[in-house]
Amino acid sequence: MSLTNTTIQEKLVEKFGDQVFQFSTDSGILSFEAPAAQNLKVIQFLYDDLGFTFLTDLCGVNYPDQTGAEIVVVYHLHNFVQNIRVRLSIAVPVTQPDVFTASKIFESANWMERETYDFFGVNFIGHPNLKRILNVDEMDYFPLRKEFPLEDQTRIDKDDEMFGRG
């Protein structure tokens, strides 16, 4: 059976109903969303039934204006046999950024989830070793959340006029 974005969407809707939504296609890649409680079920279905056996990427995104869905975990999955990709997004509130770990399905998710935790604070439930991977352990914030400024506002060695500000 040849997989197309349409057949993938039909199979997902047939299996999960309204638990998968916001389908769109960008650059030929089918994108869709699912609730955090369903992420492992959807990923396992894509792996077992549709042949998406490679986790290309897992990353976090911060949308501070989306109340109740400020943190988004994005999975990019690839089916090598059919040479087709899908993008799954899971949105969670910044106050409780809990998502089940995919490291039992994809071993490569281990380090990607640690990086997403390190920079966005996503708590991957069931992760075997969820700790900081690039930032220092003493850091008490998550630097890629947009609630933190990009530069140190207390620095006095910078002349704003030299940077086109002021």
Q: Single out the residue of 134, 77, 68, 126 nearest to residue 97, CA to CA.
A: 68
Q: How does strand 71-79 pair with strand 54-62?
A: antiparallel
Q: How many CB atoms lie within 10 A of CB 9?
A: 17
Residue 55 lies in a domain: yes
Domain-located, residue 162: no
pLDDT digits (tens, 9 = 90+) for 118-143: 999 999 999 999 999 999 999 888 99
**What's 130's DSSP letter?**
-
CATH number at residue 45: 3.30.460.80
Q: Is the pTM of this model over 0.85?
A: yes
Query: Do 95 and 77 form a contact (C-beta atoms < 8 A)?
Result: no
Q: Are 113 and 59 in contact (CB under 8 A)?
A: no
Mean pLDDT of 90-94: 97
Residue 71: inside a domain: yes
Assigned domain for 142 exists: yes
pLDDT in tens, 23-62: 999 999 999 999 999 999 999 999 999 999 999 999 999 9
